[in-house]
Amino acid sequence: MTEIGTASIDICVCTFRRPFLSETLASLAQLSTGNLSVRVIVADNDETPSARALVEATAALMPHAVTYLHAPARNISVARNACLDAASADFVAFIDDDELASADWLRALLQVAMSDNLDAVFGPVQAIYDTLAPAWMRRGDFHSTVPVFVDGTIRTGYTCNVLIRRRAPLDALRFRTELGQSGGEDTEYFHRFFGLGGRLGYAPKALVTEPVPVDRARFWWLARRKLRSGQTHGSWLMATQQGGLTAMGTAGAKALACLGLAIVSAASPWRWRQQVLRAVLHCGVVTGLAGVRHTQIYGAVAPAKLQ
């Protein structure tokens, strides 16, 4: 790997009542960082500082400096913005509190960012399924995440595995709090990031893994996420004046086409579900274009549940 110098990086983890955070932090403690200057920032999104004790206990075992922030509101954008406000390094990295970083994760992201002079670099998130997960779900690998290329270009992205270069004017961007409970705040953020000239790239070796809990190994959970993703895209089309009846008609036609493909592929348990989920995505675009309130994903869970 080419020398990546002595850059400084703040690794940001937003959390909400998730004990798995200790395992995420343990994976960060095992990172191969070389001469990099690394700090870990944990933003606790609970109304009470419920993660403070865990973070402080783990910090004593970490090779990196650890900063705990209490960013209450049950609004993921509030937590993400608190991380950005506290950041002081050359780069900011985001990883979720239910993920595990591979040893070379950070260096792989930084290598691509510096080699290609990119402003943000995304890595793959590989889902790890329990043996109880449905066979069709494991075959289709519905929970894994990689960036989407449009005509060879990445135009938006996600915060579950990303490195962002802190430089003006992009470092002034913040996540919109009105999307902090529905989700999609990261997709919208990187749409604006790209619109301001931010150059986005992909580091396939910057692997993060994510165990899929039982309550997410369900078709309806996937459908809900797809609907929200479509709503976010529809809202973005409206905000950039690319909406209207034509856009709604196109999205509706795509939904119908996907349903047709689902019927054709009915013999394959994972392919027909894949097509139905794509149809749900396009239906979400229609509702987003129509201004329908987004599906609430974060902050509406029962006390025992996690974000």
CA distance 2 to 293: 47
**200 lies in some domain:** yes
For 7-33, write each residue's pLDDT tens digit: 999 999 999 999 999 999 999 999 999
Q: Which of 186, 215, 244 is the last residue of a domain?
A: 215
Which single residue is written with the structure tokens 């938006």?
156
Higher per-residue confidence, 14 vs 183 = 14
Q: What is the mean pLDDT of residues 245-266?
A: 95
Q: Are 56 and 172 within one domain?
A: yes
Please tell me the predicted confidence (pLDDT) of residue 5. 73
Question: Would you state the pLDDT for residue 295?
Answer: 60
Pair (152, 208) in one structural domain? yes
Mean pLDDT of the chain: 92
- Per residue in 91-102, pLDDT tens? 999 999 999 999
Give 26-53 pLDDT, tens digit per residue.
Answer: 999 999 998 999 999 999 999 999 999 9
Question: Pairing mode, if any, of strands 37-44 and 100-101?
Answer: unpaired
164: left (phi over 0), alpha (psi -120 to 50) or beta: beta
Q: What are phi and psi of 81, to 5 degrees?
A: -65, -35
Mean pLDDT of 44-67: 95
Q: What is the reported pLDDT for 240?
A: 81
Residue 298: inside a domain: no
Confidence tier at 70 by pLDDT (50, 70, 90): very high
> What is the tens place of the pLDDT at every residue in 125-146?
999 999 999 999 999 999 999 9
Domain that includes residue 223, residue range: 219-289
Instruction: Using alpha carbons, select from 18, 17, 14 the residue that is nearest to residue 80.
Output: 14
DSSP 3-state of 210: strand
Residues 113 and 238 in one domain: no
How many domains are contained in the chain? 2
- Residue 64 included in any domain: yes
Amino acid 307: pLDDT: 32
What integer pLDDT is reported at residue 101 of this predicted model? 98
- Whether 239 has a pLDDT exceeding 50, the answer reads yes
Average pLDDT over residues 212-235: 93
Count other C-beta atoms under 10 Å from residue 282's C-beta.
Answer: 23
Instruction: Give the residue ranges of DSSP H helices in the chain.
Output: 21-29, 52-59, 76-86, 105-115, 135-140, 185-195, 219-239, 245-264, 269-289
Q: Establish if 113 belongs to a structural domain.
A: yes
Residue (of 40, 51, 34) closest to 9 by Cα position: 40
Residue 162 sits in the same domain as residue 31 = yes
| Residue-level pLDDT at 149 | 95
Q: Which of 159, 183, 215 is the last residue of a domain?
A: 215
Quickly count helices (H) and strands (E) in the chain: 9, 12
- Strand-pairing partners, residue 39, are 10, 65
Alpha carbon distance 39, 50 (integer Å): 21
Q: How far apart are CA 199 and CA 163, in angstroms?
A: 12
The answer to whether residue 1 is domain-embedded is: no
pLDDT at 298 exceeding the cut of 80? no
Q: Are residues 124 and 232 in the same domain?
A: no
| Whether residue 199 sits in one domain with residue 159 | yes
Note whether 210 and 227 are same-domain residues.
Answer: no
Same domain for 207 and 285, yes or no, is no
